[in-house]
Amino acid sequence: MGGLILSIESSCDDSSIALTQIDSKQLIFHQKISQEKQHAAFGGVVPELASRLHAEVLPLILEKTKPYLKDLKAIAVTTEPGLNVTLMEGLMMAKTLSYALNLPLISVNHLKGHLYSLFLECDSCFPLGVLLVSGGHTMLLEAKSYEEITIQTQSLDDSFGESFDKVAKMLSLGYPGGPIVESYAKKGLQDFFSFPIPLRSKKQFAFSFSGLKNAVRVQIEKEKQNNGILSEEFKANLCASFQDSAITHLVQKCRIFFESNANQSNAWKSFGIVGGASANLLLREKMGKICKEYNATLLLAPLEFCSDNAAMIGRVAIESYRRNEFASVETLQTRPRIDAF
């Protein structure tokens, strides 16, 4: 079997454990149990509920990895960024395993995990431009190597995925909002409502979604006042128009990134889109066009590994293992927020 790394992910509302072979990078085992249904009633993730569910579910998944415990070489866990109370659940399990099995502990940055979802079961390639779009973050990154990942810009307020969640909540469509809003949008007209494109007139290299979200809220309130109910047709047109503005904004700011990259001597020639919201098909299509325009190769993770999962955490951990980058069982802590990699 060769040496394996066991990785644990619990930064938000997905409980996941993976086993990855260190030499071949092959994924030997992966299971993820999402808590989406339990949080749907609240229209978003409730941290304490999420933490309790991780405590229930992670041991059940771990049980299935028992036949492989003898082959383990290290235990990896997401420690940053994320919800503190849920990160703690994974960290406690990882520390217990590390201590009980006398195995080194590896601390993994969740966002680095999303980046490495592009390289599951294969070698990484750098340099790389990356758009990270998740429920917690919207960032443009430049990755020169495993160690050199820099944040080029990020959202000034809400994230891209979060804005979909909030629009879905305003329309009482359920949680997570991304896939629901996307499917409603397919049935609607994208130019039915003219929502603002955030930071359009400014050269500012940043993302913002709160103004757009407010414009959507005002439109919904107006409709409720005028008609009392929200028809399916209204919801579809609203979702299509909102999605179009949100994606146009992403694309406009990505264009600035591509433009400045083109003028550099050590320019990246591959561009990856990662994070849960990278599953959005309209976003993939529009970013595909920009990549073609600038002669960049578009990299995407397999759909099932776009959202949170332990396989991507295991993939990062292989790199740390090779560098002997281990954490201390006594002092390793969670870091809910990060400013840099």
Instruction: Give the footprint of ligand KG4 on this chain (CB under 6 A).
Output: 12, 134-136, 161-162, 164-165, 176-179, 182, 275-277, 279-280, 307-308
CA 71, CA 19: separation in Å to the nearest integer?
Answer: 10
CA 325, CA 331: separation in Å to the nearest integer?
Answer: 15
Query: Which of 182, 154, 174, 171 minimizes the C-alpha distance to 247?
Result: 182
CB nearer to Zn ion: pick between 162 and 308: 308
Site for Zn ion in 232-251 (CB under 5 A): none
277's contact among Zn ion, ligand KG4, none, with CB below 5 to 8 A by partner kind, is: ligand KG4
CB nearer to ligand KG4: pick between 176 and 314: 176
Q: Which stretch binds Zn ion (CB under 5 A): 132-140, 163-171, 216-224, 232-240?
A: 132-140
CA 53, CA 131: separation in Å to the nearest integer?
Answer: 30
CB nearer to ligand KG4: pick between 12 and 105: 12
CA 105, CA 32: separation in Å to the nearest integer?
Answer: 21
Q: Locate tokens 């439109």: which residue?
A: 219
CB 4 within 8 A of CB 68: yes
> From the CB of 9, what's the least distance to Zn ion, in Å?
9
> From the CB of 226, what's the least distance to ligand KG4, in Å?
28
CB nearer to Zn ion: pick between 21 and 134: 134
CB nearer to ligand KG4: pick between 185 and 215: 185
> From the CB of 304, what's the least distance to Zn ion, in Å?
14
> From the CB of 168, what's the least distance to ligand KG4, in Å?
8
CB 309 within 8 A of CB 278: no
Q: Locate tokens 């973050």: which residue?
A: 137
Q: Does position 34 bind Zn ion by CB under 5 A? A: no
CB 53 within 8 A of CB 40: no
Our measurement of the distance from residue 20's CA atom to the centroid of its chain's CA atoms, rounded to an integer in Å, reads 20
> From the CB of 193, what's the least distance to ligand KG4, in Å?
18
CA 121, CA 65: separation in Å to the nearest integer?
Answer: 19
Residues in contact with Zn ion, shown as a per-residue x/- string from 173 to 212 under the rule CB under 5 A: ----------------------------------------
Q: What is the dihedral of CA 108, 137, 166, 233, to 10 degrees?
A: -110
319's contact among Zn ion, ligand KG4, none, with CB below 5 to 8 A by partner kind, is: none
Residues in contact with Zn ion, shown as a per-residue x/- string from 284 to 313 under the rule CB under 5 A: ------------------------x-----
CB nearer to ligand KG4: pick between 142 and 165: 165
Q: Does position 134 bind Zn ion by CB under 5 A? A: yes
Query: Which of 43, 83, 36, 35 minimizes the C-alpha distance to 165?
Result: 43
CB nearer to ligand KG4: pick between 1 and 303: 303
162's contact among Zn ion, ligand KG4, none, with CB below 5 to 8 A by partner kind, is: ligand KG4
Angle at which helices 232-262 and 210-227 pack, to 10 degrees?
170
Query: Which of 58, 60, 63 minimizes the C-alpha distance to 77?
Result: 58
Show Cβ contacts of residue 222 under 8 Å, excluding neighbours closer than 6 positions.
Answer: none
Residue ranges that bind Zn ion, judged by CB under 5 A: 134, 308
